[in-house]
Amino acid sequence: MPQLHKTQICIIGAGPSGLLLSQLLAQAGIDTIVLDRKDRTYIEGRIRAGVLEQGTVEALKQAGVADRLHAQGLPHDGFELAFDGVRHRIDLKALTGRSVMVYGQTEVTKDLFDARFADGQTFFFNVDHVTPNDLKSDRPKVHFTQGGEQHVITCDYIAGCDGFHGVSRAAIPQNVLKTFERVYPFGWLGILVDKPPVSHELLYANHAEGFALASMRSETRSRYYIQCDRGDDIANWSDRRFWETFATRLGPDAAANLQTGPSFEKSIAPLRSFVAEPMRYGNLFLAGDAAHIVPPTGAKGLNLAVADIRLLSRALIEHYAGNDHHIDSYSQTALNRVWKVERFSWQLSTLMHQFPENSPFEKRIQRAEFDYIAGSEAASKTIAENYVGLPLE
């Protein structure tokens, strides 16, 4: 016989989306159970994004997990775009009155885990065969196994926060689900190195040989990326080859400040844009990467997921208070914002990367677009407004 459990919200996925949803709901007295196919150590160890919109910072503060963020995070009032060595600063503070915060997603996840464990959250880690069922009923169920033992959770709602490869989106019938995808013909090779950043702000560079990004996790730890072939092998990239390529693409002015050293993490991530519609089916809700993927160029992945959770937590809290307006409109409200963020991430990716299929005409159009942004306050403001984060709805 399976072990039986009951809760109000079953959250599939213990990444930052699922943890934040659990934290916000707990503050409203709503019970949750959180499942994940991995364990806490593995989840906390994943290397992800590090630029937080102001709305994300506010959500983490609301959740009561922003103390370390404010103590250790790096506020950024701008960032730079560069094209063949010509640099243009987007002054976020002057153009929008807002800033972003550099604070690694790994640290956000640790802060949320600490809060949930301190509150006695019920977790099931290392689970297999997770299957959402009865999604159109008033009491949906989630079946899973852990250590060979069968479990069934009965709940009011299921929140699918289990990422692009998770089971939640796959539970929506094929004749209901619509997906939209753009797969890019390149990836990002990223490294972490314990050296001070080459610049105190992020620098996005388009060079004839490809894209590069100079980012950071702290004042002593840098996160650097270069564009590479989508199917490239990490074994092809020694540290020496990476540093030579990275310096060339940054340009001589920026590279003059570059401090190199041995990398302690190196990986290649393919780039894609992806959206699934709808983000609700029956009593299953999708949030974060389960519903959408953006290329990392605009630093939107985690921020977009947090925006989903802000909308979903509000909808569920209001539902239990007797108001179903936001729960009924969740999917459309979230998707309206998702597509705007997808547009910006696609735009910045198109501007800053070398596409193998681009003709000389299209390459000149890229440069003309950069020159227009550099020469137009209105164009720079459009970039800035999207970078700091669009309104929630």
**Contact (CB, 8 A) for 350 and 58:** no
85 falls within a domain: no
Q: State the DSSP H helix or E strand holding residue 178, giving kind and residue range, or none if neither.
A: strand 178-193
Instruction: Examine the domain organization and report whether 341 and 363 are in the same domain.
Output: no
For residue 259, give the nearest of 295, 291, 219 by alpha carbon: 219
Whole-number pLDDT of residue 241? 98
Instruction: Examine the domain organization and report whether 63 and 131 are in the same domain.
Output: yes
Instruction: Examine the domain organization and report whether 260 and 329 are in the same domain.
Output: no
Structural domains of the chain, count: 2
pLDDT band at 201 (very low <50, low <70, confident <90, very high): very high
Tell me the CATH number at 235. 3.30.9.10
86 falls within a domain: no
Whole-number pLDDT of residue 3? 96
Q: State the DSSP H helix or E strand holding residue 382, giving kind and residue range, or none if neither.
A: helix 377-388
Q: Among 78-82, 132-136, 215-219, 368-372, whose mean pLDDT is lowest? A: 215-219
Terminal-to-terminal C-alpha distance of the chain: 46
393 falls within a domain: no
Residues in the chain: 393
Instruction: Examine the domain organization and report whether 236 and 328 are in the same domain.
Output: no
Alpha-carbon separation of residue 184 from 43, 123, 238, 272, 292 (angstroms): 26, 36, 24, 6, 15
Instruction: Examine the domain organization and report whether 277 and 197 are in the same domain.
Output: no
93-134 residue pLDDT tens: 999 999 999 999 999 999 999 999 999 999 999 999 999 999
Instruction: Examine the domain organization and report whether 235 and 313 are in the same domain.
Output: no
Whole-number pLDDT of residue 309? 98
What residues are annotated to the active site?
76, 204, 296, 300, 387
β-strand 86-91 against 78-83: which pairing, if any? antiparallel
CA torsion 229→234→240→241, rounded to 10°?
Answer: -20
pLDDT band at 6 (very low <50, low <70, confident <90, very high): very high
Domain carrying residue 338:
3-75+103-180+272-349
Instruction: Examine the domain organization and report whether 115 and 226 are in the same domain.
Output: no
Instruction: Examine the domain organization and report whether 22 and 40 are in the same domain.
Output: yes
Instruction: Examine the domain organization and report whether 20 and 167 are in the same domain.
Output: yes
249 falls within a domain: yes
Instruction: Examine the domain organization and report whether 110 and 227 are in the same domain.
Output: no
Residue 31 pLDDT > 90: yes
Residue 47 pLDDT > 90: no
Helices (H), 162-266: 239-250, 252-255
Residue 360 pLDDT > 90: yes
